[in-house]
Structure formats: C-alpha cells, structure tokens
Amino acid sequence: MVEFISHSPTETESLGERFGRAAKPGWVIALSGDLGAGKTQFVRGLARGLGITTRVHSPTFTLVNEYGGGRLKLFHLDLYRLETVEQVWSAGVEEYLSPAGLAVIEWMERIADCRLPIADLKSVRIDIVSEMERKIIYDDLGA
C-alpha cells in the first residue's frame, strides 16, 4: 500500500496521469472516495496519461463512459445509483471486469462482497483531508 498527499486538484490529475502512463491492458481500478473527493479529476489525469484527448466527465447518470483514441481504451463506470448486487450484475458490469483496455469502477464497494474474477485489480481511495488536500491510497490487489 502506498499513500500520496495531493495539495490541489491539479496534483490529483497529475497523479492520475502517472497511473495512465503505467497502465497495462486488463487493469481494473476500484476507485473510492466521498462525493467531491476528486475521483473524476483522478480519471481525467488517467485519461491524459493514456493519450486520450476527449473531455472526461463523471458517468453517474450513464453508468459507463467509454473513451478511445489513446494507448488503451478507457471504461469509466460509476455504480453510485445501483443499490443491490443484482442491479449491478443486470447492468452488465461483469463484462468490464476483464476489459480490453482499462476499467475504472467508482463505488465498487457496492459489489465488494462478491468473489470477483479480476486478475489485475488495483485499489485507489481518495480521502478528503481538508478543502484542498486529499490523501490518495493505492493498493495493488491483483495477481
């Protein structure tokens, strides 16, 4: 487990960009943090690190946003509106657990009790420390 302190939204994006440059096909990133913690900023940086130039926004109301045009395809999922494991599975989330690219899944704790067939799972948690500071905790849970 590795911890970072971000002092601004720009630093959070820069950290995401470093992850994007290092990303490998098949990565699934479980991204967690309170509303307003900076999850979307992290994903914006991740996309930039992958070479994706499309504007990145939260998929809260669409469930999945797909971004191409970079080194890897990026699938950005948000499970916030789904309340049960059954809703998650019926929404088709399973196909993103071994992506042909990179998947970032916000609110993955909604399905945390399930045994997930994910070979290369990463965990990124963003905690609000103060108005500008965030503690970002990374853990490689994969094989």
Could you tell me which residues are beta bridge partners of residue 122?
Answer: 29, 140
Residues near 11 by Cβ (< 8 Å), separated by ≥ 6? none
Contact yes or no for 30/122 (Cβ under 8 A):
yes
Residue 51 has pLDDT above 90, yes or no: yes
Q: What is the mean pLDDT of residues 65-76?
A: 94
Residue 89 has pLDDT above 80, yes or no: no
Residue 122 has pLDDT above 80, yes or no: yes
* pLDDT tens readout for residues 37-47: 999 999 999 99
Is residue 28 helix, strand or coil? strand
Which residue ranges form the domains of the chain, and what is each CATH number?
A: 2-140 (3.40.50.300)
The tokens for 11 are 């630093």
Residue scoring higher pLDDT (40 or 59):
40
